[in-house]
């Protein structure tokens, strides 16, 4: 099911195309920041938990804002309740800039939270709620920068598009993936995307580290199936589908994939070495040598599993399925694996390697696999990200980053569009665990400051005198 409708055109009080109006908008930066806090609190209260998603609720949230501002917009449902929304500000001939975030969030168990996960509660200078970090806060920063451009009335050197999509947390096939296939017009002229994926952190030592994600490990999701003679649970066989599967999984679990440090990963670690403590500074400067040292990868895994995952292909055993009854030995048993491979890895060769590890009696099928791509760092947008963040945080390490996870950026990189994972929200390392975890939160100070940073970045990109 698809729904598409233009927004209702109205005259916006702040949409005056004069220099005085623009000067007023710049003077009202504090007001814009306060609006961000209020809007984020409201957005956190919109239940878009996936499953089932219900992202049309987020579409309605943004539609009301666009109608109030007099900005045309379009919406499309990929399935009932699975809504996507985008709005475009027309500009010059430069490659259009897409501001992308996903409106769905992962489930949260209230019994492990200090506040209700969908409350948007304000406590001790922080906004709490599922999606505060992933990625509703980023969406509000995009929105406010977008609205600021609209309200100023200044000519833009390119189109700027705001887009909120469904289903990223489950693969994006009802969101960006669906739009690419069914509404390619939404991406007309797009040359650069700002999306989630970069890690901007304040480390335990107080050092600031800003990662601008340019590529990511490739997800390869697999299903392993073993077969055997069925029977009664009271008469165990020497070998069954379950025991064969367990043997195969045991070999996979203990297999050590060969470490390889790609040039883009090496650059990332070298950038982090600037602010690393004494234990890690030296190895980060030469990871190709460090990963060959006995015990080093085990120490890195204990220190930071995300960084360890960038050194080699990985597989996590995440789902198991066997008999439907406790007293029946099933004819088949299966497991699902979340594997992530380095961006230069041939997927077919990797699956073949895994088949050899698992053994010939276990069948492997691919559930999902993406193609790798690396975005360039010589664009005007990347330069603006670097410049603004360096001006705001002179002591920060700003690094082209590699993500161990995946985002919707891969759909757009497949189209040849440069995509950068970036957030101006410098999250304390201890709060970063809130992503998909308990008590997800973002500080009000971060939201206010991030609003100004995002607006400044867009001004540098879309105004030729920026």
Give the per-residue pLDDT at 275. 87
Residue closest to 95 by CA, chosen among 466, 416, 424, 457: 416
Q: Do residues 193 and 419 touch, judged by C-beta distance below 8 A?
A: yes
Give the per-residue pLDDT at 305. 93
Once rounded to an integer, what is the mean pLDDT over residues 275-291?
A: 95
Task: Report the share of the chain in percent with pLDDT over 90.
Answer: 88
Domain that holds residue 78: 19-197+407-462
Neighbours of 169 (CB within 10 A): 21
Which tens digits make up the pLDDT trace of 38-66?
999 999 999 999 999 999 999 999 999 99
Of residues 130 and 23, more confidence is placed in 130
Give the per-residue pLDDT at 10. 28
Pair of tokens at residue 87: 């709005």
Residues 126 and 229 in one domain: no
Once rounded to an integer, what is the mean pLDDT over residues 310-335?
A: 97
Residues 221 and 193 in one domain: no
Residues 116 and 192 in one domain: yes
CA distance 348 to 218: 13
Does 291 score more than 70 pLDDT? yes
Give the per-residue pLDDT at 23. 53
Give the per-residue pLDDT at 372. 85
pTM for the whole thing? 0.88
Q: Is residue 396 situated within a structural domain?
A: no
Residues 164 and 91 in one domain: yes
User: Domain holding 317: CATH number?
Assistant: 3.30.70.360
Residues 74 and 184 in one domain: yes
Which tens digits make up the pLDDT trace of 395-439?
999 999 999 989 999 999 999 999 999 999 999 989 998 999 999
Q: Which residues contact 35 (CB under 8 A, 6 or more apart)?
A: 144
Residues 188 and 234 in one domain: no
Give the per-residue pLDDT at 25. 46
Does 385 score more than 90 pLDDT? yes
Which tens digits make up the pLDDT trace of 160-171?
999 999 999 999
Once rounded to an integer, what is the mean pLDDT over residues 78-99?
A: 98
Which tens digits make up the pLDDT trace of 191-230?
999 999 998 999 888 899 999 999 999 999 999 999 999 9
Q: Which residues contact 362 (CB under 8 A, 6 or more apart)?
A: 224, 225, 226, 244, 245, 248, 355
Beta strand pairing status for 314-321 and 126-128? unpaired
Neighbours of 177 (CB within 10 A): 20
Which tens digits make up the pLDDT trace of 7-26?
333 233 333 334 554 455 45
Place of tokens 């491979």: 341
User: Domain holding 434: CATH number?
Assistant: 3.40.630.10
Residues 156 and 67 in one domain: yes
Q: Is residue 120 situated within a structural domain?
A: yes
Give the total number of structural domains in the chain: 2
Give the per-residue pLDDT at 466. 61
Give the per-residue pLDDT at 371. 86
Does 27 score more than 90 pLDDT? no
Once rounded to an integer, what is the mean pLDDT over residues 160-188?
A: 97
Residues 171 and 28 in one domain: yes
Does 282 score more than 60 pLDDT? yes
Binned at pLDDT 50, 70 and 90, residue 87 comes out as very high
Binned at pLDDT 50, 70 and 90, residue 2 comes out as very low
Whole-number average pLDDT of the chain: 93
């Amino acid at each position: 099911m698809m729904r598409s409708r233009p927004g209702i055109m109205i005259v916006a009080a702040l949409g005056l195309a004069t220099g005085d109006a623009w000067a007023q908008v710049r003077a009202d930066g504090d007001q814009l920041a306060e609006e961000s806090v209020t809007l984020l609190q409201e957005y956190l209260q919109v239940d878009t938990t996936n499953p089932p998603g219900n992202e049309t609720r987020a579409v309605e949230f943004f539609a009301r804002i666009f109608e109030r501002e007099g900005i045309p917009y379009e919406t499309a449902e990929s399935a009932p309740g699975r809504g996507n929304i985008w709005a475009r500000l027309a500009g010059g001939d430069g490659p259009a800039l897409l501001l992308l975030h996903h409106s769905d969030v992962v489930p949260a168990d209230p019994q492990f939270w200090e506040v209700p996960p969908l409350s948007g509660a304000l406590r001790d200078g922080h906004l709490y709620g599922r999606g505060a970090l992933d990625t509703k806060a980023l969406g509000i920063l995009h929105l406010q920068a977008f609205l600021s451009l609209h309200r100023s009335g200044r000519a833009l050197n390119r189109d700027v598009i705001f887009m909120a999509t469904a289903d990223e947390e489950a693969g994006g096939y009802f969101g960006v993936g669906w739009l690419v296939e069914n509404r390619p017009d939404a991406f007309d002229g797009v040359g650069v995307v700002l999306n989630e994926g970069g890690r901007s952190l304040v480390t335990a030592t107080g050092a600031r580290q800003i990662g601008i994600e340019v590529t990511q490990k490739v997800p390869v999701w697999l299903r392993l199936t073993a077969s055997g003679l069925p029977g009664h649970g009271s008469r165990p066989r020497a070998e069954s589908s379950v025991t064969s599967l367990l043997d195969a999984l045991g070999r996979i679990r203990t297999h050590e994939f060969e470490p390889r440090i790609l040039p883009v990963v090496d650059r990332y670690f070298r950038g982090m070495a600037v602010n690393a403590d004494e234990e890690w500074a030296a190895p980060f400067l030469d990871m190709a040598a460090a990963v060959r040292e006995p015990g080093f990868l085990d120490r890195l895994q204990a220190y930071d599993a995300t960084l360890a995952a960038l050194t080699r292909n990985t597989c996590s055993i995440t789902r198991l399925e066997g008999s439907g009854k406790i007293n029946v030995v099933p004819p088949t048993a299966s497991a699902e694996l979340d594997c992530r491979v380095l961006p230069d890895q041939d997927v077919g060769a990797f699956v073949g390697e895994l088949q050899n590890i698992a053994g010939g009696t276990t069948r492997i099928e691919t559930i999902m696999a993406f193609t790798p791509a690396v975005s360039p760092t010589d664009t005007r947008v990347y330069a603006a990200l670097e410049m603004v963040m360096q001006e705001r945080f002179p002591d920060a390490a700003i690094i082209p980053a590699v993500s161990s996870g995946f985002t919707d950026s891969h759909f757009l990189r497949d189209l040849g569009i440069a995509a950068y994972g970036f957030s101006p929200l410098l999250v304390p390392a201890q709060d970063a665990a809130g992503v998909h975890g308990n008590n997800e939160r973002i500080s009000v100070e971060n939201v206010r400051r991030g609003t100004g940073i995002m607006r400044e970045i867009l001004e540098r990109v879309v105004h030729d005198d920026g």
